[in-house]
Each structure stands twice: as structure tokens, then as C-alpha cells.
Amino acid sequence: MHLPHLGRDIGRDSLIEFAQAAEKMGIHSAWASDHVCWPAQFESKYPYSADGSFPAPAGLGWLDPIGTLLFVAGCTEQIRLGFTVLILPYRQPVATAKQLATIDVVSNGRLILGVGVGWMREEAEVLGMPWDNRGRRSDEQLEIFEALFREETPSYNGTYYSFPPVRFEPKPIQQPLPIWVGGHSPAAFKRTARFGHAFHAAFQPLDVVENEWAQVREACEVIARDPDELDLSLRMFLDPSETMEPAKSIGGSADQMVDTIGVCQEIGITHILVDPVARGGINGRLDALADFMSDVATQIK
């Protein structure tokens, strides 16, 4: 489930309440999205809406995803912690690697590193980060993470990043750290095949996800990797009142939700990240999650 780290009622108490309640329900993982800030006016098009508009309203609070997962790591014991997704071009790779290793260590090995290359050029510019060749830069960042997380005295000499032999401790507890790659382009599919443990799609109709998954599997075969090593994840709205776009939601009655999840399973989806939509703030979303876990999840085989 997606954590309530963005919205109008964000804060310490709501995060603790939501994360601990979800853990008691048996939910697999808690996820955070990534935006830092953006110009009041921008031209970049959001890839997951029909008209390219970004749905975030003015005045929306948005806690930092790395800080959010560190905080949730400290108030939970078992629930896994993921990014949906961390935008690599917004950040310097070595410092980011330290933050990621810290999350995995203090959570006792619960981090899922969801990664993406982003879509809002103007936000990267505000952060003073280059936007050119952001896919190649992101690939180099993933290579750097692998070196820092696994080698005794890592170094790196790439096109965009380089550093001499260094000491980097502690390493993440998980070896390797699970990487779930987001995106909707051929480059993202190749990145998944090369680096990923899962392909993490977001707010895409199921027929689109099925097509993208086929391309991920083809990319695996090109580099002689077994595609069955990968999981397929999809982020969807949990929408009992059916207020959101149906093609991107698990909505309606419990039976309708079970049927939707059945279709997800048929195309190979093994993990669903639900983003609860409900009236009543934190309590309303927790009620929707509780109903889902008791009335829907118990029917899934």
C-alpha cells in the first residue's frame, strides 16, 4: 500500500498510525513516491494521464520519500519499504547510496529499491541536476550502487560519474538489494532486464501492462537472462466507490475486486501496490484497506 506521505493531513501521527495498522493487517509493503518541488508553471507532460496534466493540486504537501521510509522503518518491524519510484537523476549517486544502505540496515533488510528516470525536466533543473542523457546517467548510478553495495574497495570511472577507490560501510543487509524498475519505454524495459528484480508499472491499463511485460521479457532474452527471474508489479488505485478511472483501479464490490485481481494474475502480475482512495482522510483510507484485506485478499489464491 502507498503511504500517506502526500496530501493535506500528513505528519508524524498519521504516518505511524497508517504504517502500524497496515503491518497488523498483514500488508506486504509500504511505498513512497518521489517529488521534491516543481515550478508553479511547467511544460513537461505527466505520462500517466490522458491529457498529460499532473494531478497534484496547488498546496499539496509531499514528504521526502527517503526520509519517510527511514521514519517508517523506525516505527514498524516487518512490513517491507519501497519507492514508487525514486527518481535517480534528481540525486547524487554516492550520497544516495549511503541513504539507501542506511534504510536497509536500520530496517533489518526490508528495503525495495524502486527506481525511475523521471518525467519532469523542470523539477531536475530546480534541483540543479542535469536532464540530458538521464537514462544513461541512471544506468551509471545503478552500476555505482552495485559497486558500493558489494565491493570491499569500490571505485567507478564512467562517462558521467567517477570516483577513486573508497571505503563504503555498512553495506545493505540484503545482498543483492532488490531493484524494481519503473518506466514505460524500451530503455526502461532494457534497464529492467539488466538490473531489475521486478518491473514496476504504475497506473497503466492491464492491456498496456501486458504489452510492456512482453517487451521486458524479450529484453531479458536478448541478454540471455531468464525472464522468469523477474516479478511484475502494478500500482493501482484501491477505489471502492469507483471514483477513479476504472482501467487503473481495483474498485467496486469485493467480487469485482477479486475479478480484477484475477485478470492481473492471468497476465503475470505477482505484486499489486494499492493506492487507497476514500473519503474521511487517514481513517477512511485505513477502513478501505481493512475491508480489502478481510473481504478481498482472503479470496486470492
Is pLDDT above 90 for 9?
no
pLDDT score for 58: 81
Q: What integer best gives the mean pLDDT of the chain? A: 97
Q: What is the mean pLDDT of residues 37-48?
A: 94
With cut-offs at 50, 70 and 90, classify the pLDDT of residue 8: confident
pLDDT score for 301: 85
Is pLDDT above 90 for 101?
yes
Q: What is the mean pLDDT of residues 248-262?
A: 98
Work out the percent of the chain whose per-residue pLDDT is above 70.
Answer: 100
Is pLDDT above 90 for 59?
no
Give per-residue pLDDT as tens, 117-152. 999 999 999 999 999 999 999 999 999 999 999 999
With cut-offs at 50, 70 and 90, classify the pLDDT of residue 82: very high
pLDDT score for 152: 98
Domains of the chain: 6-175 (3.20.20.30), 178-301 (3.20.20.30)
Distances (CA, A) of 243 to 9, 48, 86: 21, 17, 27
Beta-carbon contacts of residue 248 (< 8 Å; ≥ 6 apart): 48, 203, 204, 205, 236, 237
